[in-house]
Structure 1
Amino acid sequence: MIRFGASHGRAGSRARREPVADTLSRLSEALARTMTARDGLTQQHSQRVQRWALALAHETGITDSAILEAIGGAALLHDIGKLGIPDLVLQKPGPLTRDEYDRVKAHVTIGADILTAAAFPSSLALIVRHHHENWDGTGYPDRLRGEDIPIGARVIAVVDCYDALTSDRPYRRALSHGSAVAMIHERRGTMYDVNLADAFLGIVQHLRDGAAREGADRPRTRANPSWLEATAV
């Protein structure tokens, strides 16, 4: 669970903020559980995105605790707006129509509105709103470009893409790690911040290399844990 506001400010102001921070943390958990009840696969995806996003944030030198809290909270709740999208659209096994695709794209604004109405920090809601913006300004909903896109949204954009590509979806089977890496590399500088994309690809390669070495040295008495599990932070 992300602990909002747990490490900021003077003792007095921190004490005043703790009830609010605790409420936000409980609400974050409640929303996450709501997502699980609606679609367990989406929530598992969000949990993986949270781990990846925090790992990438630390790797790229983000140390401000408020920014890390916003990234962690937004990563867990980045798809909360899909609660407002019909299952017939989200679970459609074939290509979406233009109207259906527009409805899916609305999840970013729906999600930001949910978090704003629930009094989450504006920085968190903005990350959720902008996590599908593209570096070159071709994304949605506001066609932001470059560093106008919040850093947290740029972080989540990369890791969300990787996990989505390497997971089964109603309309396709999961892609291989190599195919996902190639797609992200090709899109760096257009869809994704080059520095963040390169750092993330370095993280996943390092973890895969480490898991391969560990697997080679470990007696095969049982199945080795997935390399993805090593990303917990």
Structure 2
Amino acid sequence: MEYKKNIDLCCSNLASSKVADRKKYSEKLSTILDDHDVIETLNDGIFKWENLVYAVQEYLKKEAEKNAEDIKKKGTSVIPPRPDIFLKVIKLAVAQGNINISHLVGYFIGCLKDNRMKRCYEDTFLHLTENCILNKAECREKLKQYDWIELYKCLKLLHREKSNNSLVDNCLTLTIKWGPSNGFPFKVLREEFDFITEFCQRCNTNLQRRIKENIVTVAVEFTKAVCIYRELTNIIKVVSLMHKNFL
């Protein structure tokens, strides 16, 4: 029960109005989570992972609000707050299989549409989307059709806003690659020829090699996905014809 009391104390202070308290208890929570027995306590449900995740989400919100206030006072040169405790908790929760992946993606998308959160943590959300969700088969299969559609729309918008962000390109590639086999409707993807063409037209001699490679990868995965769709369509037609002939 001592573990629960300590976690409770930390979580309740992560949303404190005092910067010093948030810093102190985020660091304390990070140390607590290094203890294997604490992870077992969380897995046993003595303290719920959902409550811990909610606490670090509130922590990010408070830090983003403080950052926005500082920008008003000091200008745009203010350094964004570090998301260390958020990263740690989310990675642990995903690794332990104790977080709702669909809700998590929805949270990321919501934050990426929020100017304050996006300004501070855009790369954090994209990093987690790529490495903790899209690169893990057990997480991809937990996403719903709606999640894939909204994630794709969000990434498409981010790409148009900041076309040289490799994290956006990586997430786009993985969404196009794995989405169709996990619930992302082919009919949505088939309508994206114009966007992919626009995407590929950026590939000129002035771009860095890394960015060119990202563009080519997105184009290849899109082509493969669309070809798979066409093959499936042809197979369905053949099977339907055979079925009619054998009736």
**TM-score, structure 1 normalization:** 0.30
Greater relative contact order (Cα 8 A, min sep 6): structure 1 or 2?
A: 1
Look at both structures and tell me which one has the larger radius of gyration over its CA atoms: 2
**Higher helix residue share:** 2
**TM-score, structure 2 normalization:** 0.28
